[in-house]
A and B are shown apart, each in its own frame.
Chain A
Amino acid sequence: MQKLKGLLLLITMVGLVAGCDSGGTANTPAAALKKVRIGMGYIPNVQFAAYYVAQEKGYYRQAGLDVSFDYGSTDDLLAQVAVGKLDFANSEGDELIVAASKGVKDVYVLAQYQRFPVAVFFMADSPIKTVADLKGKRIGLPGKYGANYNGLLAMLYANQMTEQDVRLQEVGYTQAQAVQSGQVDAAVGYAVNEPIALAAQGVKLRTLQASDSYNLASIGIITSQDKVAQDPTTVQAFVSATLHGIADMNADPDAAYAIAAKKEYANIDQPNSAVQLAVLKETAKFQQPSGNQRLGASDPAVWAATAKFLQASGLVSTQLDVSTLYTNRFVEASQVKLRLAREMLVEQSTVQKGDYPPCVS
């Protein structure tokens, strides 16, 4: 095995030297890069730091891709991917199941988040301690749609409760203000966003995580079934590069923030830097696999549970074989490349500078 690793390392080093130019790192000419677009489903944000890291460190370029990020609402993302208007989307597994039940032919190829990032948050002095305590309480949420709604319903479902057991109030995207001012007893939001922003304002909160009650298939990379069938090379390249970005972000959130805060990405100015760094670090926690789960891989049990909940809640009315809606094949292949890349770095760090051409130093 050591001999094989050594051989692979040698081949890779020879390849790097052969492709070296006097400028430094190996560069794929712009003309040879394949243009791909990914719909992000939100505004430029540090929550997308994994993608920004992959872009900034050249992982996409090395994979032969010229990636552009399209920011906007999630409403039409999956449909746009299915018809080929977008190559990829950053969207949610539960949304994909609902879309698939309506005939949208997409597939989930990388799990960015391992846990559903929705949480119910409330003031620290609230009598609410468990999900059961939400009974009869006023709960604010943006609307009866999307991840916030699904996450809350899943929490209630896991505790033998329904929407009728609580008093939902649609407050738009003012959940934080609604909780702080006492207009609602609790609110639903993204655990990586509203509670962090509110805590930064000095408001003492407690949260109940949706994933602690009932984990749903969460945010990841989605592409069309056609693309997987006809252009698996591009899918593999994109998944590998993004997985590398996720791994780097999880390993060093501060360095990832330094990239994400740049003007060309999330463009964070100094007054917001502390809050946004906290958002990024919280995001990294949701990207960390636990137990035997591998980075970026979809958990079949979570997908089955998500489908079961959606059908029980009436959000999906058709029977679906959810195992066809996700695949780990690209992640598994990426894991091999990631391991090799890490081993190369370890090998390089033990070699004296100057022994190799500039592009490998």
Chain B
Amino acid sequence: MISTAGTERQAELDGNEVAVKRRRKRAARGKGWLNLLSFASFLALWQAVVWLGGYPSFILPGPWAVLIRFGQAIQSGLLWDNTLVTLGEIALGFGLGASGGLLLAYLLYKSRLLETILAPYIAASQALPVVAIAPLLVLWFGYGLLPKVLICAIIVFFPITISTVVGFKSIERSLVEVADLFGANGWQKLRLVEVPLAAHNIFAGLRLGLTLSVTGAVVGEFVSPSRGLGYLLNFSSSSLDAPLRFVALFTLVALAILGYRSLTALERRLVDW
């Protein structure tokens, strides 16, 4: 039987929870208005720069010109067709780079010897400028999708690997030993102890990798520009269509933000329970 004191206590807790939820909603609304205000200020500043500088549209278009061009590019299908191409490259490149990075990170965590051998090469892979090796990849693998996916994967690979290794290494040794004591096998340890405890670092690496994959896809399209948002950047430059250039740039930014937010939401759902 629940006592009166217990019921009162429960009501107090429920009331607190409602109050907390209300406070969070108010904070979110406030944040939303702040975001809107800062975006409007950015647009106003941008237009002011165009007016005061007297810039012609092909050097610096105003926000209204860019918005109109957005509409035209959407209506003609130009934006959607090219965005799909870039999205495909990002998805495949990120998938390849992330799987390779996560797998290698786990192997490096498990084997000191492997880490000692591979660490210099992993560091070197980051030091190599991708724009310099991109033409070589096209030379070796042709002008199709593969070199662009590989360029993307190379860019994504390093931050995911390093972040994941750091995450695994930050796990308290005693917690893993406890799992051993309870007779957990390798797969159980990985699933129930190591990955959950390293999850924040893993997701940090994945978020960074995903935003970098957008850059990777564009680098690939600059070298082998048949379609995609990188191609649109190239084309808009050659035809002095600066509004279209901004359309492509903003679309790339939107893809990166969308990817970042999606992974953050996934992390909250999977990890922060």
Please state if A76 and B234 are interface contacts (CB–CB under 8 Å).
Answer: no
CB of A173 closer than 8 Å to a CB of B: yes
CB of A180 closer than 8 Å to a CB of B: yes
CB of A269 closer than 8 Å to a CB of B: yes
Contact with A along B236-250 (1 / 0, CB 8 A): 011111001000000
Chain A nearest CB: distance from B132 CB in Å?
12
| A73 with B135, Cβ < 8 A, contacts A181-B59, A267-B81, A270-B76 known | yes
Chain B residues with CB under 8 A of A79: 139
Chain A residues with CB under 8 A of B224: 70-72
Chain B residues with CB under 8 A of A75: 135
CA distance in complex: A69, B227 (Å): 12
Chain A residues with CB under 8 A of B125: none
Tier of interface size on chain A: 20 to 34
Please state if B59 and A71 are interface contacts (CB–CB under 8 Å).
Answer: no
CA distance in complex: A10, B58 (Å): 57
CB of A28 closer than 8 Å to a CB of B: no
| A200 with B81, Cβ < 8 A, contacts A72-B224, A269-B73 known | no
Tier of interface size on chain B: 20 to 34
CA distance in complex: A76, B138 (Å): 10
CB of A126 closer than 8 Å to a CB of B: no
Please state if A43 and B81 are interface contacts (CB–CB under 8 Å).
Answer: no
Name which of A54-62, A271-279, A281-289 contacts chain B.
A271-279
Chain B nearest CB: distance from A85 CB in Å?
7
| A43 with B238, Cβ < 8 A, contacts A177-B58, A267-B78 known | yes
Please state if A43 and B225 are interface contacts (CB–CB under 8 Å).
Answer: yes
Chain B nearest CB: distance from A207 CB in Å?
16
| Nearest A residue to B241, CB-CB | A272
Please state if B59 and A180 are interface contacts (CB–CB under 8 Å).
Answer: yes
CA distance in complex: A346, B16 (Å): 91
Contact with A along B59-73 (1 / 0, CB 8 A): 100000000010011
Chain A residues with CB under 8 A of B240: 176-177, 197-198, 200-201, 275
Which of B57, B81, B240 lies at the interface centre, i.e. has the most chain A CB atoms within 10 A of its CB?
B240
Chain A nearest CB: distance from B219 CB in Å?
13
Please state if B58 and A176 are interface contacts (CB–CB under 8 Å).
Answer: yes
CA distance in complex: A165, B183 (Å): 82
Chain A residues with CB under 8 A of B237: 173
Please state if A271 and B143 are interface contacts (CB–CB under 8 Å).
Answer: no
CB of A162 closer than 8 Å to a CB of B: no
Please state if B223 and A72 are interface contacts (CB–CB under 8 Å).
Answer: yes
Contact with B along A33-77 (1 / 0, CB 8 A): 000000100011100000000000000000000000111110110
Chain B residues with CB under 8 A of A250: none
Chain A nearest CB: distance from B13 CB in Å?
60
CB of B157 closer than 8 Å to a CB of A: no
CB of B226 closer than 8 Å to a CB of A: yes
| Nearest B residue to A177, CB-CB | B59
Chain A residues with CB under 8 A of B138: 72, 76
Chain A residues with CB under 8 A of B135: 73, 75-76
CB of A211 closer than 8 Å to a CB of B: no
CA distance in complex: A197, B57 (Å): 13
Chain B residues with CB under 8 A of A263: 77, 81
Contact with A along B206-247 (1 / 0, CB 8 A): 000000000000000001111100010011011111001000
Chain A residues with CB under 8 A of B57: 201
Using a CB-CB cutoff of 8 Å, which residues 225-257 of chain A contact chain B?
A: none
Chain B nearest CB: distance from A238 CB in Å?
18
Using a CB-CB cutoff of 8 Å, which residues 87-115 of chain B contact chain A?
A: none
Using a CB-CB cutoff of 8 Å, which residues 137-183 of chain A contact chain B?
A: 173, 176-177, 180-181
Please state if A72 and B225 are interface contacts (CB–CB under 8 Å).
Answer: yes
Please state if B78 and A269 are interface contacts (CB–CB under 8 Å).
Answer: yes
CA distance in complex: A217, B230 (Å): 31
Please state if B72 and A271 are interface contacts (CB–CB under 8 Å).
Answer: yes
Please state if B223 and A73 are interface contacts (CB–CB under 8 Å).
Answer: yes
Please state if A275 and B239 are interface contacts (CB–CB under 8 Å).
Answer: yes
| A80 with B139, Cβ < 8 A, contacts A201-B58, A272-B239 known | yes
Chain B residues with CB under 8 A of A198: 58, 240
Please state if B225 and A70 are interface contacts (CB–CB under 8 Å).
Answer: no
* Besides A43-B231, A45-B235, A270-B76, 18 new A-B residue pairs in contact (Cβ under 8 A), listed by A number: A43-B234, A43-B235, A44-B225, A44-B235, A45-B238, A71-B225, A72-B138, A72-B143, A73-B223, A79-B139, A177-B58, A180-B56, A197-B238, A197-B239, A198-B240, A269-B76, A272-B239, A275-B239
Residues of A within 8 A of B (CB): 39, 43-45, 69-73, 75-76, 79-80, 85, 173, 176-177, 180-181, 193, 197-198, 200-201, 203, 263, 267, 269-272, 275-276
25 pairs across A/B with beta carbons < 8 Å? A43-B238, A44-B231, A70-B224, A71-B226, A72-B143, A75-B135, A79-B139, A85-B139, A85-B142, A173-B238, A176-B240, A177-B59, A177-B240, A180-B59, A181-B59, A193-B238, A197-B239, A201-B56, A263-B77, A267-B81, A269-B76, A269-B78, A270-B76, A272-B239, A272-B241
